[in-house]
Amino acid sequence: MGLELATRAARLSPSPTMAIDAKAKSLLAEGVDVVNFGAGEPDFDTPAHIAEAGIEAIRQGQTRYTAVAGTAELKAAVIERLRIDVGHRYQPNEVLISVGAKHSLYNAIMAIVDPGDGVLLPVPYWVTYPEQIRLADGEVQLVPIRRADGVLTREDIEAVLTSRSRGLIVNSPSNPSGAVIPPEELRAIAELAVERDLWVISDEIYGRLVYDDAQQVSIAAFPGMRERTIVINGVSKAYAMTGWRIGFAAGPRAIIEAMSGIQSQSTSNPTSIAQAAAVAALTGPQEAVEAMRQEFDRRRRYAVERVNRIRGLKAAVPKGAFYLWVDMSGLIGEVVAGRTIASSDDLALAWLEEAKVAVVPGTGFGAPHYFRLSYATSLERIATGLDRMAALVEGR
Ligand SMILES: Cc1ncc(COP(=O)(O)O)c(C=O)c1O
């Protein structure tokens, strides 16, 4: 015994996306002009009518505990949103409001994963998934995505699936790749989930941010999927509300009740005033969502075109979210600013220290020869950052 940490805590990796962001922010705090492509959040302010609803909730004294699973008003707003996004009419006891989509995911994984259970996780993955699976003592079953456009296929999953596999995580649009799984691929994945009796956690947090011909479809919409899918979404990305911390989950009543039970003994209800603001977000005017999407789209097209002109870099055109997922294997073994580049960690460090640009190395996403560039910053800053990155890599 003694003053040691629980193994659960000791084996957690700190979020690498937060680490580079923290380093960039500390340079910024010192007054260094860093272009930060590390952020995982919109650069826009929360639309004014939403912020006002939060202020009004305080004035009206909506400052007490709410029901653990969320207020009736917010559940009703979420149910209406899910009717549009997913196509099912969920009941109030099939919906749970939590402290951000990350918390919704945590509750879901805690509710379905027993020690030793396998959870199929497509690679590249958002950094939090493997850590949450390990917190539940589950086995992370990595599913390499083979298509160059980053789209997950049924065959990818079949190559890894074992008798221990209990669940599958689907994240479309994807963080980090921006890939959107088209309906025909989703249908094939859904059929596999039914055949092999898998839970599916469908993280649709970037569902409102899709571009070109991409269509956002929920895997929960396919036959036999409603009873085995936990849909995860929230207000953070679509409404520029990352700090408010409101996410939600929808699924079969038994699983939602189990998740609610876990939440009741950890956080209780999410913040009452943030719930009021989320009602305004979901039920109020939606123009701001579209305006932000269009601005992300402009930046996306500019950034992907320019990145592909930099020596040694290659990026597929992302169809969703606000990230470029860049293959830097063309620079492995090359010398950049006097450093021999062995991985994207080396390259990211060189850019941060020598060019004052922050990107997130792919190591934490399971892909050490890639990096993630978030274009959730102004076109002007994107131009400046890419100028600096290109100049360093090309020795100018
Ligand atoms: C794929 C994915 N899911 C969930 C989240 C968490 O969102 P929230 O801020 O609502 O917890 C993020 C945030 O970065 C994300 O990228």
> Which amino acid is residue 289, in one-letter code?
V
**Residue 15: predicted pLDDT:** 64
Q: Tell me: the pLDDT tens digits for 302-351?
A: 999 999 999 999 999 999 999 999 999 999 999 999 999 999 999 999 99
Q: Is the dihedral of CA 278, 74, 247, 120 positive or negative?
A: negative
372 Cβ inside 6 Å of ligand 1: no
**Residue 16: predicted pLDDT:** 59
Q: Please name the residue whose Cα sits nearest to atom 13 of ligand 1.
A: 40
Where do we find the tokens 């060189």?
Answer: 350
Would you tell me which CATH number, out of the four given (3.90.1150.10, 3.40.1710.10, 3.40.50.720, 3.40.50.1360), belongs to the domain 7-45+288-393? 3.90.1150.10
pLDDT tier, 198 (very low <50, low <70, confident <90, very high otherwise): very high
**Residue 46: predicted pLDDT:** 98
Whether the pTM exceeds 0.95: the reply is yes
Strand partners, 210: 320
Q: Is 48 in a helix, a strand, or coil?
A: helix
Would you tell me which CATH number, out of the four given (2.60.40.10, 3.40.640.10, 3.10.20.90, 3.40.50.300), belongs to the domain 48-283? 3.40.640.10
Domain 7-45+288-393 shares a fold with domain 48-283: no
Mind giving me the DSSP string for 322-336?
Answer: TEEEEE-GGGTT-EE
Q: How far is the CA of 339 from the centre of ligand 1 (A)?
A: 34
**Residue 22: predicted pLDDT:** 78
**Residue 17: predicted pLDDT:** 58
Q: What is the DSSP letter of 253?
A: H
Domains of the chain: which residue ranges?
Answer: 7-45+288-393, 48-283
Residue 18 has pLDDT above 80, yes or no: no
Strand partners, 250: 95, 231
Q: Which atom of ligand 1 is nearest to the CA of 17?
A: 14
40 Cβ inside 6 Å of ligand 1: yes
- Angle, nearest 10°, between helix axes 272-283 and 72-85? 40
Q: Tell me: the pLDDT tens digits for 116-148?
A: 999 999 999 999 999 999 999 999 999 999 999
Q: How far is the CA of 101 from the centre of ligand 1 (A)?
A: 6
pLDDT tier, 216 (very low <50, low <70, confident <90, very high otherwise): very high
242 Cβ inside 6 Å of ligand 1: yes
> For residues 302 and 316, what is the distance between their CA atoms, to the nearest angstrom?
13
